[in-house]
Each structure stands twice: as C-alpha cells, then as structure tokens.
Structure 1
Amino acid sequence: MSIYVGNLSYEVTQDDLTSVFTDYGTVTRVQLPTDRETGRMRGFGFVEMATDAEEEAAIEALDGAEWMGRTLKVNKAKPREDGGGGRPAGSRGGPGGGKFSSRRF
C-alpha cells in the first residue's frame, strides 16, 4: 500500500516528507514526482511505510494537518490506471494492426 500526500509545498524535499512520516513508523519509500518539462515538483507525493497499521496512523493524523503553510490531503493512494490519452493498448491504428484491432473502443 502507498499513501498519497497532496497539496504539498513546491519546496518540500524527500527528507522533509520522511521526517514528518517517521513520527508514525518506518518510512520505506518516498516519491515526489516532478514535471517532465520544468523539473519542478508537482505538489504531491507518495509515501510507503513498513506496515499497514503505520500507514493508517499517519493518514489519520496528517490528513487535514497544516504543514509548510499548506493543508495536507493524505489518503490511501489509488492504483494507477493506464490511460492518459492516446490509442488503446494493443491498437496499431490501421486495419489488422494488432490483436485488438477488430474490437471497438
């Protein structure tokens, strides 16, 4: 399981986020996605902790908390869905173009 942390300051670092979450248990991973073009932090991140109980405690304590001048949105991360535009998986764009080419989307 992973924790979604939203409404982060653009100045936050992995070390900053780790230090906040270690109050609730062992942090095993922190990810702070950046914009591909600008390299700037996108304002959200993901935290993984050693146990589900630690993650639940962190979510309960930190959701709605103010940190670095922002009100945090903290909840269970939803599984990433494939998508984001473009052609459907397996589509090749032309007749007979792939194993799903006869399927309607």
Structure 2
Amino acid sequence: MKKETARQASIRCPIGLFPRQEEEIARLTREIDQARAAAQKAPWAQALFEAVDVLLACEQYDEESLDCRLCRNFSGLRRKTATLVIKAGHLDDRRRRTADDRRRS
C-alpha cells in the first residue's frame, strides 16, 4: 500500500494576511488540542476567535477571488468552532463550581 502524504491547501492572499494569521491559528489550534478539559481549552479558543476575526475583517476582501472566498469560509468555520469550545469551557466551569458548592454544603 502506498502511504499518502497530507497536502495543505494553499490560499494565495494578495496582501499576505492569510499566511501570517494561519501560523498563529495553527499554533492556537495545537494548544486547544493539547488541553485536556474544556475549561482549559477556552482561553486558547478565545485567542483563536480573535485571530480568525482579523481575517474576517479583511478590508481587501474580493468576492470574485476564489482565494478570498476560501479564506472567508475557512475563517467562518474556525470562528464557529472557537465559539463552541468557548461555550463548552463556560459550561465546564459552571459544572465544576456547582460540584464544588455541593461538596462544601
């Protein structure tokens, strides 16, 4: 059997914003993946949310450009993912506080 190699999609950003943000986004994603509990993931997800928002706020967005549309679509998905992780972190915090309160009672 042939071993398949992973190929990374390449988005050609006319202003170079995507590659700069992508490096930070990849780092934050690794941090989220390494954190064990949802509450530990939430701060990294918040930073991811902010990094993705830089791409979504791009003033050079060109609806006619496939690269711009791909960047915007990927960024939108990442933003939704970060939002879910943040919400899960808040739920995890709330659950832990409730459990701690019950133990103290």
**TM-based fold match above 0.5:** no
Larger fraction in helix: 2
Q: Larger Rg: 1 or 2?
A: 1
Larger fraction in strand: 1
Q: TM-score, normalised by structure 2?
A: 0.31
